[in-house]
Amino acid sequence: MKVSRALRKRHSCRAFLAREVDFAKIKRILTLASRAPSGANTQPWRVAVVSGRSKLAIENEIETQFRAGNRSRADYQYYPVQWSEPYKSRRFACGLQLYNALGIGREDKDRRREQWIENYRAFGAPVVLYFYMQSHLEAGSYMDFGMFLQSVMLAAEEEGLATCPQAALAEYPEIVKQKLGLGDGFVLLCGMALGYEDTSAPINQYRTPRARLEDFVTFHQ
């Protein structure tokens, strides 16, 4: 698969088929993604491949805590505390597309809440990849990790698999770390749903727009 096609084809999949993923494919994806660049070749990425009973145990505990009103805190601040333009409008439009695809109105708080909980179930994907790194690493390693994550998603496209990178899966880091046997010396960055896309699902039909080149690029000669 050409890189240009993989970049255009990739999207955040939010409905998966109940079809198991061959671990040989996952190994190929992660081996290829490990070619991503990192400062001084530090390779800060660590990955936990979670499926079956382990996945179910994590998502059930997180859902229980969420339904009980016990909101946790991620290991780092993902979104800005104060939203400004154009990010505020883009965020609103993104959410509107999702709920419109499902026919969920703004006033339907119950259905919105249930849809949010689907995040913690990784949208039914059979596999979740949890990404973490040692907590003493600095901002450069976050940049390195971003390049690794994109490499994972593009390699998954080549294997015929869909993905959804999810900050929501890192909202309860103490639960995930405890279930995975990780100590306090790690930052849980995010999770990623991995599996075969349900192409018939309405939530998988929309695509978020991208800014025009002139909106984010300047040329200097």
> Using one digit for the tens of pLDDT, what is the confidence trace for 46-99?
999 999 999 999 999 999 999 999 988 999 999 999 999 999 999 999 999 999
Three-state SS for 208?
Answer: coil
Residue type, 17: L
pLDDT beneath 70, residues of the chain: none
Q: Which CATH architecture has domain 3-78+120-205?
A: 3-Layer(aba) Sandwich (3.40)
Per-residue DSSP letter, 36: S
Helix (H) or strand (E) holding 191: strand 186-195
Phi, psi (deg, nearest 5) at residue 127: -130, 140
pTM as predicted: 0.96
